[in-house]
Amino acid sequence: MPWFLDAAQYLAGTFRVLLRRPYRGVVREGSMPRFVAPKTLYILNEDGDPWQATMMCPCGCGAVLEMNLVPDEKAVWRAKVEKDGTGTLHPSVWRQVGCRSHFFIRNGKIRWCD
């Protein structure tokens, strides 16, 4: 049964790396991707103008979050890709339903609010 232990150790190491990995920022032209990858902040553009930020909820509930980036609308966020490729989202995201997570993303790191 050593192969099973090797496989379990490999998977545990992979999950530890994923948990430590910062959120990366990805700019996409057009619509939301079919598959929203974990630890990725998608900034969707149309003709170079950002209109939506999309990501999976960092709590692990699996919800896909969509934040408005159009300044003329109510409830607007700002999102950007930093020089190191990490994502930043401001102001905080506070889910009013479901898991009720409340957090910021700064330079790829989740900052949980109390």
3-state secondary structure string, the chain? CHHHHHHHHHHHHHHHHHHHCCCEEEEEECCCCCCCCCCEEEEEEECCEEEEEEEECCCCCCCEEEEECCCCCCCCCEEEECCCCEEEEEEEEECCCCCCCEEEEECCEEEECC
Q: How confident is the model at residue 10 (pLDDT cuts 50, 70, 90)?
A: low
Q: Is 11 inside a domain boundary?
A: no
Q: Is 32 inside a domain boundary?
A: yes
Q: Is 105 inside a domain boundary?
A: yes
> Per-residue pLDDT tens for 32-83?
888 898 999 999 998 888 999 999 999 999 999 999 999 888 889 999 999 9
Task: Name the residue range of residue 32's domain.
Answer: 22-112
Task: Give percent above pLDDT 90 in the chain.
Answer: 55
Q: Is 7 inside a domain boundary?
A: no
**CA–CA dist 21, 17 (Å, integer):** 6
Count of the separate structural domains present in the chain: 1
